[in-house]
């Protein structure tokens, strides 16, 4: 495909079909998910449509509930492009009186004659590790115009945002990275994967990784740095090789000591993908996008991805606020732990917009690695449920997507997502019943 990306023929056909629809449209309605991957997907598409001189109207949504689909239907747009979502709501999408394209990497329900679905799951690719919303958005963009390769760094930030880089890039994501490097939109450096100003600030504000006993506890970080004879005020980027190695091994040991999976510890030293045009790494950009989405400033995320320097400085402020909120919650989880059931563990997350991130970080760095983690947010008589497992648990049979779908449907709710991370919305009164069905289902999956 355009000499750069190799895909199975039927996958390639689906992308070309989508490209044709966008190409013919004068005006495109674009709807994307509000998380880092969705924002990256939206930014890439906004860049590509701008280059084509197309008019478009972009919105970020938290989900595609029937009410959301109804609102979109009422707008009466003849061309609608869903990014990072849609395959899970195929009935709703088919009900729209429009040409509809869905670029999604979540598990699809079924194929559709009416909706053009570009979804790696239909083509023997894994949507959890090999392609995300942003990488699919880039794929469509470069098929429409190879000049859009300059948007590849933003797509790679989306890959990081959905944590698909863990354990090494794969599939479509890897092909995009290789092209981005070859075309000099990305440079690769190996190093300590922590971003921040001084050593003490970097470690005490670190939520990913979250260092038990250090993150959120500056006095402890100062004592720790004193013990390894590192000047706490040294800028992170200017630590000399000996100290950087020492710091890296001490921090790795701490992560091992707190029970993190080996793949999590290995993340600490990794390839840093630097975006020369933005003077940021793809992880930095992913963090910024994440903060924008979670703090209800989606437009800002798109603006900064499109190179707006002013937006970048505002987003840095949001990121600091977001990090301190998350840090506060993680400290609470560290102190209180989670409620234990036989096969799952759960905690209450009062702020639903932070629940997913909290759940993922608590699973990865703080809680029992043998059970998936469930975060519960109560909103107006309903409960929003976020869940996370680990790849290791998935390899033992865990499938949160089917588990949540089953448990939610049994209590009159809806659920789905990925094997390793899924969500549900259920009636609050049915929470206990939901948890015991989920506990039993997960037990069977991993039994
Ligand atoms: Mn995604």
Cα–Cα distance for residue pair 263/280, rounded to 1 Å: 24
Phi-psi region of 278 (alpha: psi -120 to 50; beta: other; left: phi over 0): alpha
Output the pLDDT for position 69: 94
Output the pLDDT for position 280: 86
Domain 337-446 has CATH 3.10.310.40: yes
Output the pLDDT for position 310: 94
Spell out which residues have Cβ within 5 A of ligand 1, the ion. 37, 84, 132-133, 162
* Phi–psi pair at 337, nearest 5 degrees: 70, -165
**Rounded to the nearest whole angstrom, what is the distance from the C-alpha of residue 154 to the centroid of ligand 1?**
13
Output the pLDDT for position 85: 97
Instruction: Tell me which DSSP letter residue 107 carries.
Output: P
pTM: 0.79
Cα–Cα distance for residue pair 167/118, rounded to 1 Å: 25
**Rounded to the nearest whole angstrom, what is the distance from the C-alpha of residue 64 to the centroid of ligand 1?**
14
The candidate with the shortest Cα–Cα distance to 218, out of 231, 203, 239, 207, is: 203
Output the pLDDT for position 70: 95
* Phi–psi pair at 179, nearest 5 degrees: -65, -40
Cα–Cα distance for residue pair 88/121, rounded to 1 Å: 12
Q: Check for a shared fold between 9-184 and 337-446.
A: no
**Rounded to the nearest whole angstrom, what is the distance from the C-alpha of residue 267 to the centroid of ligand 1?**
20
**Rounded to the nearest whole angstrom, what is the distance from the C-alpha of residue 37 to the centroid of ligand 1?**
5
The candidate with the shortest Cα–Cα distance to 53, out of 88, 85, 28, is: 28
- Evaluated on CA atoms 2, 181, 194, 364, the torsion sign reads positive
**Rounded to the nearest whole angstrom, what is the distance from the C-alpha of residue 228 to the centroid of ligand 1?**
40
Are 116 and 101 spatial neighbours (Cβ–Cβ below 8 Å)?
yes
Q: How would you write the pLDDT of the chain (447 residues) with one tens digit per residue?
A: 455 899 999 999 999 999 999 999 999 999 999 999 999 999 999 999 999 999 999 999 998 989 999 999 999 999 999 999 999 999 999 999 999 999 999 999 999 999 999 999 999 999 999 999 999 999 999 999 999 999 999 999 999 999 999 888 999 999 999 999 999 999 998 878 887 778 999 999 999 999 999 999 999 999 999 999 999 998 876 788 888 889 999 999 999 999 999 989 988 888 889 899 998 889 989 999 999 998 899 999 999 999 999 999 999 999 989 999 999 999 999 999 999 999 999 999 999 989 999 999 999 999 999 999 999 999 999 999 999 999 999 999 999 999 999 999 999 999 999 899 999 999 999 999 999 999 999 999 998
Rg (alpha carbons) of the chain, rounded to whole number: 21
CA distances from 345 to 260, 405, 438, 439, 442 (A): 16, 18, 11, 9, 11
Output the pLDDT for position 3: 55
**Rounded to the nearest whole angstrom, what is the distance from the C-alpha of residue 386 to the centroid of ligand 1?**
15
- Helix 400-410 and helix 431-446, axial crossing angle in degrees, nearest 10: 140
Are 418 and 400 spatial neighbours (Cβ–Cβ below 8 Å)?
yes
Would you kindly state where each structural domain of the chain is located, as residue ranges? 9-184, 191-330, 337-446
- Helix 152-161 and helix 133-144, axial crossing angle in degrees, nearest 10: 160
Q: What is the dihedral of CA 62, 65, 71, 76, to 10 degrees?
A: 100
The candidate with the shortest Cα–Cα distance to 145, out of 22, 297, 29, is: 22
Cα–Cα distance for residue pair 378/352, rounded to 1 Å: 8
Contacts 24+ apart (CB under 8 A), 389-394: 389/363, 389/419, 389/420, 389/421, 390/261, 390/363, 390/364, 390/420, 391/166, 391/167, 391/261, 391/263, 391/420, 392/261, 393/420, 393/446, 394/419, 394/420
- How many CA atoms within 13 Å lie on the side-chain side of 406? 15
Helix (H, G, I), strand (E, B) or coil at 256: helix
**Rounded to the nearest whole angstrom, what is the distance from the C-alpha of residue 422 to the centroid of ligand 1?**
11
pLDDT tens figures, 199-240: 999 999 999 999 999 999 999 999 999 999 999 998 876 788
Are 22 and 144 spatial neighbours (Cβ–Cβ below 8 Å)?
yes
**Rounded to the nearest whole angstrom, what is the distance from the C-alpha of residue 125 to the centroid of ligand 1?**
15
Are 114 and 135 spatial neighbours (Cβ–Cβ below 8 Å)?
no
Length of the chain: 447
Q: Count CB atoms within 10 A of the CB of residue 379.
A: 12
CA distances from 174 to 42, 94, 296 (A): 20, 32, 30
**Rounded to the nearest whole angstrom, what is the distance from the C-alpha of residue 40 to the centroid of ligand 1?**
9
Helix (H, G, I), strand (E, B) or coil at 389: coil
Q: What is the dihedral of CA 350, 352, 423, 335, to 10 degrees?
A: -40
Q: What is the DSSP string of 111-163?
A: --SSSEEE-GGGGT--TTTT--HHHHHHHHHHHH-GGGGGGHHHHHHHHHHTT
Q: What is the DSSP string of 186-220?
A: -EEEEEE----SBHHHHHHT-BTTB-TTTTT-HHH
Helix (H, G, I), strand (E, B) or coil at 347: strand
What sections of 76-122 are H helices per DSSP?
A: 90-94
**Rounded to the nearest whole angstrom, what is the distance from the C-alpha of residue 368 to the centroid of ligand 1?**
26
Under CATH, which number does the domain 9-184 receive?
A: 3.90.1640.30
């Amino acid at each position: 495909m355009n000499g750069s990306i190799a895909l199975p023929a039927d996958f390639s056909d689906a992308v070309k079909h989508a490209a044709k629809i966008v190409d013919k449209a004068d005006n495109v309605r674009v709807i994307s998910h509000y998380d880092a991957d969705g924002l990256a997907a939206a930014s890439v598409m906004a860049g590509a449509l701008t280059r084509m001189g197309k008019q478009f109207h972009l919105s970020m949504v938290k989900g595609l509930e029937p009410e959301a689909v109804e609102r979109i239907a009422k707008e009466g747009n003849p061309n609608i492009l869903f990014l990072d979502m849609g395959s899970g709501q195929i009935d709703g999408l088919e009900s729209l009186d429009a040409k509809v394209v869905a670029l999604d990497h979540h598990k699809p329900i079924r194929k559709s004659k009416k909706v053009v679905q570009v979804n790696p799951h239909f083509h023997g690719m894994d949507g959890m590790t090999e392609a995300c919303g942003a990488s699919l958005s880039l794929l469509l963009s470069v098929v429409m115009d190879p000049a859009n390769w300059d948007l590849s760094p933003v797509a790679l930030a989306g890959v990081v945002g959905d944590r698909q880089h863990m354990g090494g890039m794969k599939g479509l994501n890897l092909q995009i990275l290789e092209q981005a490097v070859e075309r000099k939109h990305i440079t690769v450096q190996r190093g300590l994967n922590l971003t921040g100003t001084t050593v003490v600030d970097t470690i005490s504000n670190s939520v990913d990784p979250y260092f038990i006993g250090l993150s959120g506890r500056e006095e402890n970080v100062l004592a720790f740095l004193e013990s390894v004879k590192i000047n706490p005020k040294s800028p992170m980027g200017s630590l000399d090789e000996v100290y950087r190695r020492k710091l890296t091994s001490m921090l790795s040991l701490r992560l091992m000591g707190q029970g993190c999976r080996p793949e999590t510890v290995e993340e600490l030293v990794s390839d840093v993908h630097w975006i020369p045009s933005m003077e940021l790494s793809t992880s930095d950009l992913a963090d910024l996008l994440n903060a924008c989405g979670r703090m209800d400033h989606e437009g800002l995320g798109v603006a900064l991805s499109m190179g707006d320097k002013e937006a970048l400085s505002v987003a840095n402020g949001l990121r600091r606020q977001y990090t301190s909120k998350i840090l506060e919650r993680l400290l609470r989880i560290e102190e209180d732990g989670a409620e234990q059931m036989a096969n799952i563990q759960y905690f209450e997350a009062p702020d639903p917009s932070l629940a997913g991130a909290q759940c993922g970080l608590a699973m990865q760095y703080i809680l029992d690695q043998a059970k998936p983690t469930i975060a519960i947010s109560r909103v107006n008589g309903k409960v929003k449920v976020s869940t996370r497992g680990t790849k290791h648990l998935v390899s033992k049979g865990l499938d949160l997507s089917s588990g949540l779908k089953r448990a939610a449907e049994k209590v009159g709710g809806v659920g789905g997502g990925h094997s390793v991370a899924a969500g549900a919305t259920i009636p609050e009164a049915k929470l206990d019943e939901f948890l015991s069905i989920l506990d039993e289902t997960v037990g069977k999956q991993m039994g």
